[in-house]
Amino acid sequence: MQKMKLVMVGNGMAGVRTLEELLKLAPDLYDITVFGAEPHANYNRILLSPVLAGEQTIQDIMLNDVDWYRDNGITLHLNKRITHIDRKKRVIMADDGTTAEYDRLILATGSNPFILPIPGNDLPGVIGYRDIADTDAMIAAAQMHKHAVVIGGGLLGLEAANGLKLRGMDVSVVHINEWLMERQLDKASAKLLQKNLEDRGLKFLLQKHTAELVRGESGRVAAVKFKDGETVPADLVVMAVGIRPNTALAESAGIYCNRGIVVNDTMQTYDPRIYAVGECVNHRGTAYGLVAPLFEMAKVAANHLAEFGIGRYTGSVTSTKLKVTGIDLFSAGNFTGGEDCEEILLSDPVGGVYKKLVIRDNKLAGAVMYGDTVDGAWYFQLLREGRNISDIRDHLMFGQSHVGDLGHTGHNRAAAMTDEMEICGCNGVCKGSIVKAIKEKGLFTLEDVRKHTKASSSCGSCTGLVEQLLASVLGGDYSEAPKTKSICGCTDHTHAEARAVIRDNKLLSIPEVMDFMDWRTPNGCSTCRPALNYYLISTWPGEAADDPQSRFINERAHANIQKDGTYSVIPRMWGGQTNSSELRRIADVADKYAIPTMKVTGGQRIDLLGVKKEDLPGVWADLDMPCGHAYGKALRTVKTCVGSEWCRFGVQDSTQLGVDLEKALWKMWAPHKVKLAVSGCPRNCAESGIKDVGIIGVDSGWEIYIAGNGGIKTEVAHFFVKVKTPEEVMEYTTAFLQLYREEGFYLERTVHYFNRVGMDYIRQRVLEDSAGRKALHARMIFALQVEKDPWVERAREGVLKHEFEMLTV
């Protein structure tokens, strides 16, 4: 049977998403031909701003390369603009004479930037901002010229201005209205945004009407003149005042257009053989410029092209996210309110946080947030579902983690979401789909999730939630990749820069670091504070202030919060050894505090599960055992086999060496969790080959392996060195771990540190440089001697009772 011919005009995000959905439903129904006016394959237009800012490359934002079209049997014509549609013959023609017949036609012609109709708008140096060519032109201009003016203070204009500033230009933003982003922000939040951007060096000219663009002696634009007579210099002018649906081709073919190609709920135009999707469309009187509605259109169009005939597009509720690194804002729905609305406000101008929730008829009607947007996805879900919020109204402002006893730390809001709740609005991906993919496909990284589910692959605003889901599903085995650009949105400085500043200037507290490095927020956030706290105490042990409030809840409580809000307590057992006295104490504690579950862990310890928060001080005091640091960024366990003392195959005393190592290192804080193992012979019963440091006894001594990982993505440890004595094991092990402590980025496992710096570097620092090794060993011993871990003592004295009452779960 001969296939029908499907032709698509336009190669952008909406059109190609339509083909992706169609191929899922009916992969063999059509011979598909695509015409794109640009020389590039399908790319993420939303992420042009990070490319302009130098944070990503064009290659980074490609969605479907040329090979994807070939692999799916799609004929691709690049750099060809369609100029004519013959609807009677069902043929289209490109500007180079290429023709293609169709049975079904998709128009995905997108939009054009609106260029102000003022004198000088055609001068060299005056451009819009819509595609790769515009981005390349701005990057080139920034290398040759100094002054840039961006006309338009909306999303696109501010992203362009930020990128040009980062490229070294002097940038002024001209906006006709009283405040920035007036369609997405109210005045209060817009003022906070303006202040942040001004601190970055941007200039703003508000309530200004552009009269003309002035030609310079070179023939290029040289200045912008306003109606009030004021003039500002401009070697580059970027028009970012809006977009207009590109309807020229459709209109020339006699297809009905009215501020867009008019379509019905099945995405058909007035010609039923011709469909339209994307920014070129007018659906029920609305043209959408955000990606989520375009992808919803694509899904419906694909459903009907596949001849399923059941999809309907009825419009979209949209939300807004500004793609400027370090700035968090969110808005959705009717955030302006009105006479029939209630408003809930939280305003902290000094802290840079503003939240406004608008309620109508006991439903969330709109929201605008600046500085703290972690609950944006949840608010958006409430808004879209139209849920009655009267039962949670008193807690609504404080976010999802404060609604009910959810048993979450507040650092992982995604864990509190139901499986049906949407994580990625752009691609319509719910939490359940992501969790299922992580579990069934063994996904481990953000890129894996993007590849398999498309979540976080479009505008990127849900990236944090996806990372939280990875952390929630994988638990302690998830290691977030350290940020290579900056620690967090509070600063542009990297982990490496923070470490160097702390070391070179002997800074001893978090406020000193933030003041010295010009932190953008006065108190930091839950991402940067734990990192800075670790860098301080690892660089200046015994001198730097260890701030308990800058540690995560599990480290502050020396216990792990569970999904029901109770805690798990694991006392330390040296090398997995215990005795009747310790076991008796554990049993007595379990009885006294009615602890429901006790379990032997994989690290050869006993886990007490179901401990109430208020019982934690008493539990630890009655146990009278050191904390196992089971959930801290610290030494977790030293796993051992019984070794030569008991085993007939053992050739070395692995148990004693394991006990010695654990007693020496148990107070060691680290960038991430650290696990050791000692096996008494090559049979390796202690699984030493997948630990951060693994030690295996052989007839002539000990073999040391480093940078293993036994989590969901197993990494086999690398052979490091062979030594003869337990003393040498101690020296080489502590030297490697101290090197990792001093140079690893916060939340970077040893395997990732190893991959970053390489085995040759580590060998040079630890094996080849004898004096350096001994110095690393000495610094570790010093740090462990001055390391304070007064938790148990304070518990005995009852000091922690008040602290636990104040502890935020």
Secondary structure letter of residue 168 according to DSSP: T
Torsion of CA 95, 96, 98, 102, to 10 degrees: -10
CB burial class (10 A; 0-12, 13-18, 19+) of residue 304? Answer: buried
Q: Is 641 annotated as a binding residue?
A: yes
CA dist 370 and 354 (Å) reads 5
CA dist 375 and 8 (Å) reads 38
CA dist 523 and 692 (Å) reads 34
CB atoms within 10 A of CB 591: 9
Instruction: Give, for 6, the enclosing helix (H) or strand (E).
Output: strand 4-9
CA dist 779 and 160 (Å) reads 48
CA dist 363 and 518 (Å) reads 41
Residue with tokens 């995604």: 414
Going by C-alpha positions, the residue among 452, 445, 490 that lies closest to residue 469 is 445
Q: What residues form DSSP beta bridges with 346?
A: 355
Instruction: Report the sign of the C-alpha dihedral through residues 208, 210, 211, 216, in that order.
Output: positive
Q: Is 647 annotated as a binding residue?
A: yes
Q: Is 280 annotated as a binding residue?
A: no
Q: How many CA atoms lie within 13 A of 254 on its CB side?
A: 5
CB burial class (10 A; 0-12, 13-18, 19+) of residue 717? Answer: buried
**How distant, in Å, are the alpha carbons of 403, 605, 614, 772, 801 from that of 610?**
22, 16, 12, 46, 19
Going by C-alpha positions, the residue among 160, 142, 163 that lies closest to residue 152 is 160
Q: Is 424 annotated as a binding residue?
A: no
Q: What residues form DSSP beta bridges with 422?
A: 430
CA dist 432 and 436 (Å) reads 6
**How distant, in Å, are the alpha carbons of 117, 175, 214, 222 from that of 227?**
14, 13, 13, 17
CA dist 241 and 152 (Å) reads 5
CA dist 472 and 451 (Å) reads 19
Locate 18 and state its tokens: 């339509």
CB atoms within 10 A of CB 67: 9
Binding residue ranges for siroheme:
685
Binding residues: 641, 647, 681, 685
Annotated binding-site members for [4Fe-4S] cluster: 641, 647, 681, 685
